[in-house]
Structure 1
Amino acid sequence: MAATEETAVRIGPRVRALREAMDLSLRDLAERSGVSAPMLSQVERGETSPTLQVASRIASGLDLRLSQLLRLDEGGSVSIIRAADRKPGASRHGHAFEILTPSLPGQRAELSRHTLDPGIATGGADDPPIHEPGAREIALVERGTIVLEIDGERHELHAGDCVTFDADLPHHFENPGDEEAALLAVVAAGLRRS
């Protein structure tokens, strides 16, 4: 397969997925990008490879930089961190955490694992700051009881419970129990715009 055909195959499904995620029709994207709907359709189906100028216009219509559309700021499509290769995380005053995802350019989400000793809360002076505007967080309690305090409200969570919230609001997790508690957290910034 020629390099241009490989690019068309990779970019086509991505353009379609991004367009549909923004709830845009082909005509909507054509108006936003200045690229004709038939051309967009051919690109999405992998029948043609857009020139850099056309790809740049498509990216603009999707509110992205060209490098984001083409994923030039990212590595390969699969990145694995083996359990034996994980780097130990930080531990501060009874709150230990480690980032489980690799640090890659263009990374849009991060998975971390947190353990809290009894009576300990995250969000201390030494902890990372609140997440960037627009960030969302999903947390799954692995064991124990965790209280999420967010924007002045408290939510008690038990093993197996999962919560999703706006991570740019003031928040922290607490362990009110008598045993260590653990949770997995995913922080997603969503699509980065230009």
Structure 2
Amino acid sequence: MENAIDHLDNAIGENLRNQRLAQGLTLDALAEASGVSRAMISRIERGETSPTAQLLARLCAALGTSLSIFFAHAEKPASPFLARSEQPVWRDPDTGYVRRAVSPPGTGSNVDLIEVEFPPGARVVFAPQTANAGITQHMWLFEGEMEMKVGEAEYRLRPGDCLFMPLMAGITFHNPGQAPARYAIVLERRSGF
């Protein structure tokens, strides 16, 4: 799995650079818009470091995109089939949560399936992002437990529970348990997004 993670880190860097250049942004301009240092952006683009989920969310917001759309651009070419062994896997270096892109990319579908393993005690906070307008997600918990805060509403999920949420809201993911939580995220973009 480590090789898959290293490969996706390189793809993330290349994708970040391509999206930045496509928008005519310099490293300095993206740094100013995102609040992420120029040096850090440069290291990510060169594949020397893996960005945390929160840092990558800030970069995506500055680029006017979402994490899901960003990862879709970093993945393989279109095909209706994607074997588990070829599904891109990314580990958040800050919390250790593992994100596996299950959906075959580039199919034109407005739905993305993501498998996540979230370590015990880990917490990730995503600030509200206007780039996520029109994107919703279902979180379906298989194992463990999760505490979720969506805007001001708080939820505690146990195996089998499902939570629907708009991505434009600020969202906090927290695993209060002693074991990893495993869940599926089903993201849906409205047409035109």
Q: Does 2:180 match 1:189?
A: no
Q: Does 2:132 match 1:116?
A: no
Q: Show the counterpart of 2:37.
A: none
Q: Show the counterpart of 2:87.
A: 86
Alignment TM-score, normalising by the size of structure 1:
0.52
Determine if contact 2:125/2:170 at 8 Å carries over to the other structure. Answer: no
Deviation of 1:124 after TM superposition, in Å, equals: 6.4
Determine if contact 1:130/1:170 at 8 Å carries over to the other structure. Answer: no
Alpha-carbon distance in structure 2 between the residues aligned to 1:130 and 1:97: 22
Q: Show the counterpart of 1:174.
A: 174
User: Structure 1's 131 and 97: CA in aligned 2 closer, same or farther, altered over 3 A?
Assistant: farther
Determine if contact 2:114/2:185 at 8 Å carries over to the other structure. Answer: yes
Q: Which moved more, 1:113-122 or 1:87-96?
A: 87-96
Q: Show the counterpart of 1:20.
A: none
Determine if contact 1:144/1:182 at 8 Å carries over to the other structure. Answer: yes
Deviation of 1:132 after TM superposition, in Å, equals: 1.6
Q: How does 1:1-194 map to 2 (within 5 A)?
A: 79-92=80-93, 93-104=95-106, 106-123=108-125, 132-192=132-192
| Amino acid across the alignment from 1:176 | P
Bigger helix share: 2
Deviation of 1:122 after TM superposition, in Å, equals: 2.5
Deviation of 1:105 after TM superposition, in Å, equals: 6.2
Deviation of 1:130 after TM superposition, in Å, equals: 7.5
User: Structure 1's 184 and 150: CA in aligned 2 closer, same or farther, altered over 3 A?
Assistant: same
Alpha-carbon distance in structure 2 between the residues aligned to 1:166 and 1:153: 12
Deviation of 1:168 after TM superposition, in Å, equals: 1.2
3-state SS in 2 of match to 1:84: helix
5+ long unaligned stretches in structure 1: 1-74
Alpha-carbon distance in structure 1 between the residues aligned to 2:158 and 2:131: 24
Deviation of 1:188 after TM superposition, in Å, equals: 0.6
CA deviations on 1:82-124 (whole Å, 9 max, x unpaired) are: 1222232233222111211122163412111111111102336
User: Structure 1's 123 and 105: CA in aligned 2 closer, same or farther, altered over 3 A?
Assistant: farther
Alpha-carbon distance in structure 2 between the residues aligned to 1:169 and 1:161: 20
Q: Show the counterpart of 2:21.
A: none
Q: Which of the two has higher C-alpha Rg?
A: 1
Determine if contact 1:118/1:181 at 8 Å carries over to the other structure. Answer: yes
Alignment RMSD: 2.5
| Amino acid across the alignment from 1:180 | P
Alpha-carbon distance in structure 2 between the residues aligned to 1:163 and 1:179: 20
User: Structure 1's 112 and 156: CA in aligned 2 closer, same or farther, altered over 3 A?
Assistant: same
Percent of aligned pairs sharing the same letter: 17
Determine if contact 2:124/2:172 at 8 Å carries over to the other structure. Answer: yes
Determine if contact 2:126/2:171 at 8 Å carries over to the other structure. Answer: no
Determine if contact 2:84/2:102 at 8 Å carries over to the other structure. Answer: no
User: Structure 1's 130 and 156: CA in aligned 2 closer, same or farther, altered over 3 A?
Assistant: farther
